[in-house]
Amino acid sequence: MNWLLIVLGLILVNSCVGEEPKCDGPVIACYYASWSYYRTEVGHYNISHIDPNLCTHLIYTFSGLNVDGKIDSLDPNYDVTKGGYQYFNSLKQINPCLKTLLAIGGWNDGSRKYSVMASSEDSRKVFIESALRYIVTYNFDGLDIDWEYPANRGGIAEDKENFSLLVKEMKERFSKWNLLLTIAAPISQYILEKAYDIAAINKYIDYVFLMAYDYTPTDSNVTGLIAPLDEIKKTVEFWLSKQFDKKKLVLGMPSYARTFVLDNEDDHDLGALTEGPGLAGPYTKEAGFLSYYELQINLASQLYEENVTDNGAYGYYSTEWMSYDTLDHYIAKTKYALDMNLGGVMLWSIDTDDFTGFFGPKNIILTTLYNTTQDYVNRHIN
């Protein structure tokens, strides 16, 4: 009788252990731009569009730094009153392996006020305590710092050292709560050298989400590819040459095109002169930028000539010019990240993927990253 109970008990324990989710594969980090809520018609995106099973980390953008040097919502009506944070974090019930992060900063929140916040132990403490309280209150699993960038854009040279202190003090405080600390980092070696003591921050940061896109920025005078793999490899090598832990480096990819107006419609190769950013898309409404689904609309019009190179694709029609990745490029980049033993991949952003499935399966870019990762993991287990 006792024997039977013990055996039954063991079977029960084993089957429970067997059901424990394994959450240790490569990272698939998904940035979510909360303002996509305000896009209209087929561009409208909300939290119910997120497939929480395709991501390991979901990142809500953006919160900001307020006049008191504390973290704060930039859109309290959406984030709090309408329940944005709450709904977002409830997705963890669907995927128990999912970790959620709140991002603070971004390009539009600037650099100067972050520089001031990081410049003394007292102001860092005020920020860290406010962030801890905020993250715990809204049930996120950590903070993603998108200060763009220390010692740049109005910051001061001391930001570099102070940033190391900020992440050190923050991680020490966060560890007690088992919270993650990550950053989004740029590609320019010039900015990187000024902004971060990479070897020093390595210890305190769980992941660096490498913004490996906009290699040709919107204000470029000549056309160029958005995220060429040959350049990306150099950026990754740079991080690794600074003794940054591979497993903490996560390779970002864009789900959008950069666009330009050509100076002369007959001169449409790489390196052609531009007159400025391309026309805004009908849904995302930002000059020089088209979501993946908007660029597919252009390609589907059959007006565009397309040139697919190893490092990315470009298309042009009259004086309109756009550069983007095809699914093969996403696959190649994912394989590269995994071959290099990096932490995984990241997508900016899931709301500019073809989330309605207008041009094929829903969330085709994210699904491509997910499937490529799964195939890779399965191949390396067997």
Ligand X SMILES: *[C@@H]1O[C@H](CO)[C@@H](O)[C@H](O)[C@H]1NC(C)=O
CA angle 50, 54, 56 (to 5 degrees): 105
CB of 255 to ligand X, least distance (A): 13
CB of 310 to ligand X, least distance (A): 9
CA nearest to 315, candidates 291, 288, 296, 287: 296
Catalytic residue among 19, 121, 129, 148: 148
Torsion angle (degrees, nearest 10) of CA 84, 42, 259, 50: 40
Active site residue 148: yes
Nearer to ligand X, 111 or 162 (CB): 162
Nearer to ligand X, 57 or 124 (CB): 124
State both tokens at 81. Answer: 């009153």
Cα gap 104→73, rounded to integer Å: 9
Nearer to ligand X, 55 or 364 (CB): 364
CB of 335 to ligand X, least distance (A): 14
Cα gap 243→199, rounded to integer Å: 6
Nearer to ligand X, 158 or 237 (CB): 158
Within 10 angstroms of residue 259's Cβ, the number of other Cβ atoms is 30
CB of 46 to ligand X, least distance (A): 4
CB of 321 to ligand X, least distance (A): 12
Phi, psi of 158 (to 5 degrees): -65, -15
In angstroms, what CA-CA distances link 341 with 3, 131, 249? 47, 31, 9
Nearer to ligand X, 14 or 374 (CB): 374
For 349-368, b/e burial (b = at least 16 CB within 10 A) is bbbbbbbeeeeeeebbbbbb
| DSSP category for residue 21 | P
DSSP 272-323: -BEEEEPPPPTTT--TTEEEHHHHHHHHHTT--EEEEETTEEEEEETTEEEE
Nearer to ligand X, 31 or 355 (CB): 355
83's torsion region: left (phi>0), alpha (psi -120 to 50) or beta?
left
Q: Would you tell me which residues interact with ligand X (CB under 6 A)?
A: 44, 46, 48, 119-121, 156, 158, 161-162, 165, 220-221, 269-270, 307, 309, 361, 364, 367-368, 371
CB of 372 to ligand X, least distance (A): 8
Nearer to ligand X, 19 or 305 (CB): 305
CB of 60 to ligand X, least distance (A): 15
Cα gap 309→53, rounded to integer Å: 32
State both tokens at 180. Answer: 């993650």
Known catalytic residues are: 148
